[in-house]
Amino acid sequence: MNQEPNQFVSRGGIKLQHALSNFKLKISNYAVLDVGSSTGGFVDCLLQNGAAKVYSVDTAYGELAWKLRNDPKVIVMERTNILHLQSLPSPGRQAKLPKVTVIASESPQLNASQSYLTRDNLKPEQDNSLLNKIPTSPGSVNSNGAPQDDSQESHNYTKVDLITIDASWTKLEKILPVVEKFLKTGGQIIALLKPHYQAEKSKLIKGVLEESEALRVKGEVEKKIQNLGFKIEDSIDSPILGGGGNREYLLLIQRG
Confidence class of residue 154 from pLDDT cuts 50, 70 and 90? very low
Does residue 114 form part of some domain? Answer: yes
- Mean pLDDT across the chain: 77
What's the confidence (pLDDT) of residue 115? 35
What is the mean pLDDT of the segment spanning 38-45? 95
What is the mean pLDDT of the segment spanning 45-70? 95
What is the mean pLDDT of the segment spanning 129-149? 40
What's the confidence (pLDDT) of residue 167? 86
Domain with 51, as residue range(s), is 12-255
What is the mean pLDDT of the segment spanning 123-151? 40
Does residue 6 form part of some domain? Answer: no
Does residue 4 form part of some domain? Answer: no
Q: Global pTM?
A: 0.74
Whether 107 shows a pLDDT value over 50: the answer reads no
Does residue 120 form part of some domain? Answer: yes
Closest CA to 190 of 238, 251, 231, 239: 251
What's the confidence (pLDDT) of residue 182? 95
| Bigger pLDDT: 120 vs 210 | 210
What's the confidence (pLDDT) of residue 3? 53
| Cβ-based burial of 239 (10 A; exposed 0-12, middle 13-18, buried ≥19) | middle
SS3 of 83-103: the string is: HHCCCCCCCCCCCCCCCCCCC
Reported as a single tens digit per residue, the pLDDT across 238-255 is: 999 877 778 889 999 998
What's the confidence (pLDDT) of residue 111? 38
Confidence class of residue 117 from pLDDT cuts 50, 70 and 90? very low
Confidence class of residue 196 from pLDDT cuts 50, 70 and 90? confident
What's the confidence (pLDDT) of residue 4? 59
What is the mean pLDDT of the segment spanning 202-229? 83
Does residue 210 form part of some domain? Answer: yes
Does residue 2 form part of some domain? Answer: no
Instruction: Please give the tally of structural domains in the chain.
Output: 1
Whether 5 shows a pLDDT value over 70: the answer reads no
What's the confidence (pLDDT) of residue 110? 37
Q: CATH code at 235?
A: 3.40.50.150
Whether 114 shows a pLDDT value over 70: the answer reads no
Confidence class of residue 125 from pLDDT cuts 50, 70 and 90? very low
What's the confidence (pLDDT) of residue 241? 84
Q: What is the DSSP string of 3-59?
A: --TT-SSSTHHHHHHHHHHHTT---TT-EEEEES-TTTHHHHHHHHTT-SEEEEE-S
Confidence class of residue 199 from pLDDT cuts 50, 70 and 90? low
Radius of gyration of the chain (CA): 18
| Bigger pLDDT: 109 vs 50 | 50
Confidence class of residue 92 from pLDDT cuts 50, 70 and 90? low
Does residue 38 form part of some domain? Answer: yes
Does residue 174 form part of some domain? Answer: yes
Residues 6+ positions from 242 with CB-CB distance below 8 Å:
194, 196, 248
Confidence class of residue 6 from pLDDT cuts 50, 70 and 90? confident
